[in-house]
């Protein structure tokens, strides 16, 4: 079994939201797909431990917003890696009310669907939730965000509750197939394994990995900057967590 095979499945990235007893809930998911066209039904897979899962099942409704390629990463950090029990994820977010009553997130999105839950299937750690689409709209002609682009750009893993979660160690141990891109990497000089201050560090909140060889150009950190030399107010570019939340790999 090669776990890297799972990275060859293609997905988009979606913001899934609902409302129950006057409170809004939402999370980022990559597992959403149309299961029938007549009527139009969409299935999502949601971890039982996700705060939103029970709320969707009890409210019998959810909205699915398709994120755009150049997404606001704070939205990914908060909706993807934090819990509604800790923060109000909707405090700075634009939403509109749908036919079902689910809040539709329109920030950073290219299209949305409003769904009423028709079936749920217990598949173990996750619930497969099937919704009939009662309304939908296109907001923009921009490209949607794909999971492949997101993983490549932000070097991130899935959150632990994602259906596509695989431990990084398990992936790192697998050999890559031979391909041009791999050969290019092999030609690069090897890391000096004795140089400890060039270790990579991973954000324990969202899984973002800081690699000192690359720095963090999005935060103005040049390549070659050891984690220890980052300014004290450095924040994770994805979820805004402080340096204290990073652990050495």
Q: Which residues would be at the binding site for its own copies (CB under 8 A)?
A: 1-6, 8-12, 31-43, 45, 66, 110-113, 119, 121, 123-126, 128, 130, 133-142, 144, 146-148, 162-166, 176-182
- Least Å distance between CB 231 and its own copies? 36
Residue 218: strand, helix, or coil: helix
Q: What is the dihedral of CA 125, 131, 135, 136, to 10 degrees?
A: 40
Determine whether 39 is exposed, middle or buried from the number of CB atoms within 10 Å of its CB (0-12, 13-18, 19+): exposed
- Least Å distance between CB 166 and its own copies? 6
- Least Å distance between CB 115 and its own copies? 12
- Least Å distance between CB 47 and its own copies? 9
- Please identify, using beta-carbon distances, which residue of 12 and 212 lies nearer to its own copies: 12
Strand order in the sheet with 246-248: 209-210, 201-203, 246-248
- Please identify, using beta-carbon distances, which residue of 120 and 240 lies nearer to its own copies: 120
- Least Å distance between CB 103 and its own copies? 17
CA angle 212, 214, 216 (to 5 degrees): 85
- Please identify, using beta-carbon distances, which residue of 146 and 240 lies nearer to its own copies: 146
- Please identify, using beta-carbon distances, which residue of 133 and 198 lies nearer to its own copies: 133
Residue 34 burial (CB count, 10 A):
11
- Please identify, using beta-carbon distances, which residue of 180 and 232 lies nearer to its own copies: 180
Query: What residues pair up with 15 in beta bridges, in sequence order?
Result: 28, 65
CA angle 239, 242, 247 (to 5 degrees): 95
């Amino acid at each position: 079994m090669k776990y890297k095979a799972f990275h060859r499945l293609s997905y988009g990235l979606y913001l899934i939201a609902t409302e129950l007893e006057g409170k809004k809930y939402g999370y980022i998911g990559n597992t959403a797909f149309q299961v029938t066209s007549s009527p139009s039904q969409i299935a999502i897979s949601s971890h039982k431990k996700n705060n939103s899962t029970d709320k969707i099942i009890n409210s019998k409704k959810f909205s699915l917003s398709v994120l755009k390629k150049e997404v606001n990463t704070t939205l990914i950090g908060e909706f993807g890696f934090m819990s509604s029990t800790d923060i109000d994820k909707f405090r700075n977010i634009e939403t509109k009310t749908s036919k079902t009553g689910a809040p539709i997130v329109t920030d950073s999105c290219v299209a949305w669907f409003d769904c009423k839950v028709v079936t749920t299937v217990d598949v173990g750690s996750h619930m497969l939730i099937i919704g009939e689409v009662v309304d939908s709209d296109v907001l923009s002609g921009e490209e949607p965000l794909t999971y492949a682009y997101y993983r490549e750009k932000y070097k991130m893993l899935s959150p632990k509750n994602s259906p596509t979660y695989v431990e990084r160690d398990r992936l790192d141990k697998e050999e890559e197939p031979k391909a041009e891109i791999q050969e290019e990497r092999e030609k690069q000089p090897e890391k000096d394994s004795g140089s400890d201050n060039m270790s990579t560090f991973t954000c324990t909140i969202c899984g973002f990995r800081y690699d000192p060889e690359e720095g963090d150009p999005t935060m103005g950190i040049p390549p070659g900057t050891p984690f220890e030399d980052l300014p004290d107010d450095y924040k994770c570019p994805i979820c805004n967590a402080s340096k204290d939340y990073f652990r050495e790999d």
